[in-house]
Amino acid sequence: MDKEVQKIDLSPNLIWKANYGKDVSKLQERASTFLSKITDHGEVEREGGITSTGHTDAPHLWPEMIEFCNDIEPLVKKVLDAWELNYNWFGITKSWVNKHNVYQWTDTHDHGDAHMVLSFYLKQPQKGGNLEFTNINKHLWGSYPRHPHGKTKLHEYYTEVEAKQGDIIFFPGWLSHRSQPNQSNQERIVMGLNIHAELQRPEQLSNEHIEKNI
Ligand SMILES: [Fe+2]
């Protein structure tokens, strides 16, 4: 008999994280200037948080973002591949920045039809607050004797993912999440990017591929 048991994955791993080690001071500056003109609290910003969601000036179109967009391309591809998606094109469809000062936070929400979301911690102070995801399996494990300090926090409604300066967190748009309140006296700026992947097929100009040539 085998002494080891193997882990079998029922579904792909949903949440991925990387750190963008490069200098982002120019991006921080541009985002701060941009956000200083924004007054919108959006639908889910709490305690005075500000968001540029819906604003026509989308951060992924800024010249300062070209390098970042190029750098993340292979990482996005890696996650899309890990999710076993059949695609030959992906792109950013929407982006925005959120600003949270002390005690401000973003309430639980999802990203509608976005296939993938990137939360990029452009400015994250110490105690700036982490990202929390809803435990989608919690109700299924309700009758099990769960460990209160388990890694997956199955007793709790949310699982916390640590977010440090420069972190990029990748997750599916349907996975509901919220930010913890910023517990520092410095501002937190998080950039959000929605990504869409699709299988683009050549334009169908004839029926040759489905008709018999007799
Ligand atoms: Fe979000």
Q: Report yes or no on 3 lying in a domain.
A: no
Per-residue pLDDT, averaged over 57-80, amounts to 97
Compute the distance from residue 23 Cα to the ligand 1 centre, in Å: 24
Q: Report yes or no on 27 lying in a domain.
A: yes
Confidence check: pLDDT of 147 > 90: no
Q: Report yes or no on 135 lying in a domain.
A: yes
Compute the distance from residue 184 Cα to the ligand 1 centre, in Å: 21
Rg from Cα positions in the chain: 20
Buried/exposed 104-129: b ≥16 CB within 10 Å, e otherwise: bbbeeeebeebbbbbbbbbbbeeebb
Q: Report yes or no on 1 lying in a domain.
A: no
Task: Count up the domains in the chain and report the number.
Answer: 1
Compute the distance from residue 169 Cα to the ligand 1 centre, in Å: 11
Compute the distance from residue 171 Cα to the ligand 1 centre, in Å: 10
Confidence check: pLDDT of 70 > 90: yes
The CATH number of the domain holding residue 190 is 2.60.120.620
Domain that holds residue 50: 16-140+153-211
Q: Report yes or no on 205 lying in a domain.
A: yes
Confidence check: pLDDT of 28 > 90: yes
Condensed to tens digits (0 to 9), the pLDDT of residues 159-179 reads 999 999 999 999 999 999 999
Confidence check: pLDDT of 214 > 80: no
Q: What is the per-residue pLDDT for 155?
A: 84
Compute the distance from residue 15 Cα to the ligand 1 centre, in Å: 13
